[in-house]
Structure 1
């Protein structure tokens, strides 16, 4: 969408057109565009309206019904914070007693919306002119929220008591892993806490623990089993103090796991139950804490599976009943699955180089039953666990592979 398309879209007739479009359907987009142009609508407006209709449909996964009143850019939507996560961000600022927050990299305004929604005054900055204009539209219902087309690092922070930033981590369509190549660079944003101690950052979850600032509360966040971000919180925004934690959002509930410094999980044999920790728990390095919660142990010191002799419900892991255990071997496994008439197989793995889809083809599955197997290393040997998910007790464990 170019500036002309945005201008036409924001006119009364353009906004009415966007609001009147049917739910987006890729198969019908081309015929609909041809019909609208045949009716005399400007091609730039038709293109902008259908682009926004497509992006709104995609945005529902992150923003729910709020997406229906918003505008987007593809990159802005890609980096936008999910609504329920943005709400947690905003509550940190509110609960810290802050009143005026500067969002240095507001993008299309998802976090700024959440901050304004809890009653905070917001000054939002965006370097890209088109994105800044779209953020202004998205924040139109909040008079205390102002968007400025500028470099956020140049904002006057003299009357600001909290700062938020979500540095861009993509360039030319590719993901950027070097914090020095973020836009703005991570070190430049971290320097802001010398002026405003209440600093919050949203980053990608893959940063190594050794690269985290010593004064940060680092919190990995997962939503429905997907690890979506790492939040770094400083000063009043981290009342827990520096350290690591995991925030698991699932089924409308929020659960926080922080390390118990006195706890030390043991390694032991597989028991009656297997637990697969949530991805945020793994990223935070808290697998051992899950083992303690379920009164269990690690299956291996380097593998993120936990086992227990008891059944425990936990939001921090997906639970399975262990049905069988055997050394890994293609012939042995194929025979076992055929004897049990398994035709549909879920394959999960950690600590092994086996490629699930390749293994599935080699197994030549036949039958009307389904099963779940876990490929992992036990006591130094490649092994197979046949497991059954615990109905009603699944947290946000890792995805099937």
Structure 2
């Protein structure tokens, strides 16, 4: 249930006067917010209504990154916006249900309604369930344009699923206290827990569930497809798909979405870190830094084989190959020089090469890039040159690889690469 403060923050908007005032406000400006609030109070609006309207105006502006123009007519809570699925990703979820022919979907833990909106847009009948009273009220407003979408204020586990064809869940993965929110990592501590999701799937229902991208492979059920999704380099979720929502022959997938399009790397088998069947070798030619979704999905070895390359270390996600290969699944660099990791010698190298801008990337080492950068640049003068260092481990050796970033490659349309 919502706390009184949380409920009161939205209540003034849920009136004709509040809704009209909110929608009359122009684009939100932080610099003008104090002046705008003062003028609204002078016009006779209550301080509570002005505060609520200004808060919603600010949240709408922030929400444009996730919801685009839809944000202009939506309501939000701060936590609801932070945890909401981006609308383009919600559309991908909804397409799974449409492709599988699922007509009536229960969205259990709907939050402010992002996934329900996407499902309703594809003409699915939606029963959206949210346990927090205020958030459920927000979802109700956001789903008003779709007559076949209904919001229920209840616990996900308590809802009667009679007549439901499929289920989508976005479990709560944070606990909220007066001091803020804390992330939960144990899938059985989620609300609802992963075991509840598995019980639904065991009934034969088409079930999809959004999990955090850091979920360990050994916590994943055996009878589902898992798709890790990254957007512009940020890994945002791991979606589990059961029964008819899972694609035949796909156990793990990395979906990479960027400015140049969408690409997917898949595998038909579960991840086994002890049997990756990929060689290790020296740093040379071209170095590839895999996308985070590829790493999370355990598909680094698959990518290395596809690039005709090898790993620098079997436990570290850096790949080298002798020839440059275009790929949407990794950032490519030309290897210029390989040095032992020695701070004193690296500092001399920075000074000798008149480097004033230094990018440091690292994996498999405890070095803090910002601290090392400051150390290496101190006393070297503000040189005109730029350089990129990759700090990593190769077996027992720590190395500093001097690289040249290459233009990002990537497909302009959806690509799919499958590995056994």
**Same topology, TM > 0.5:** yes
| Aligned residue among 314, 317, 323 for 2:327 | 314
Asked if 2 retains the 8 angstrom alpha-carbon contact of 1:263 and 1:292, the reply is: no
Given the two structures, how large is their TM-score scaled by the length of structure 2? 0.90
Say if 2:355 is the partner of 1:342: yes
SS at match of 2:32: helix
Residue 238 of structure 2 corresponds to which residue in structure 1? 230
Residue 352 of structure 1 corresponds to which residue in structure 2? 365
| Aligned residue among 179, 184, 188 for 2:187 | 179
How far apart are the structure 1 equivalents of 2:169 and 2:369?
39
Aligned ranges for residues 181-260 of structure 1 at < 5 Å?
181-241=189-249, 243-251=251-259, 253-259=261-267
Note the residue ranges of structure 1 that are not aligned, 5 or more in a row: 396-401
How far apart are the structure 2 equivalents of 1:29 and 1:323?
51
Deviation per residue, 1:30-68 (Å, 9 max, x gap): 232122112211111111111111111221222222212
Deviation at 1:3, TM superposition (A): 4.3
Given the two structures, how large is their TM-score scaled by the length of structure 1? 0.94
Deviation per residue, 1:308-331 (Å, 9 max, x gap): 111111111111111111111112
Asked if 1 retains the 8 angstrom alpha-carbon contact of 2:227 and 2:238, the reply is: yes
Runs of 4+ in 1 over 4 A off after TM superposition: 1-5, 260-263
Deviation at 1:380, TM superposition (A): 2.4
| Aligned residue among 402, 408, 420 for 1:386 | 402
How far apart are the structure 1 equivalents of 2:389 and 2:211?
34
Q: For residues 335 and 5 of structure 1, do their structure 2 counterparts lie closer, same or farther at Cα, with a shift above 3 Å needed? A: closer
Deviation at 1:7, TM superposition (A): 4.1
Deviation at 1:195, TM superposition (A): 3.0
Say if 2:60 is the partner of 1:56: yes
Residue 388 of structure 2 corresponds to which residue in structure 1? 372
How far apart are the structure 2 equivalents of 1:26 and 1:176?
33
Deviation at 1:5, TM superposition (A): 5.2
| Aligned residue among 8, 14, 18 for 1:10 | 14
Residue 101 of structure 1 corresponds to which residue in structure 2? 105
Say if 2:287 is the partner of 1:287: no
Q: CA RMSD in A?
A: 1.9
Q: Which moved more, 1:137-146 or 1:22-31?
A: 22-31
Residue 398 of structure 1 corresponds to which residue in structure 2? none
Q: How many residues align?
A: 395
Q: For residues 213 and 346 of structure 1, do their structure 2 counterparts lie closer, same or farther at Cα, with a shift above 3 Å needed? A: same
Q: Which moved more, 1:195-204 or 1:128-137?
A: 195-204
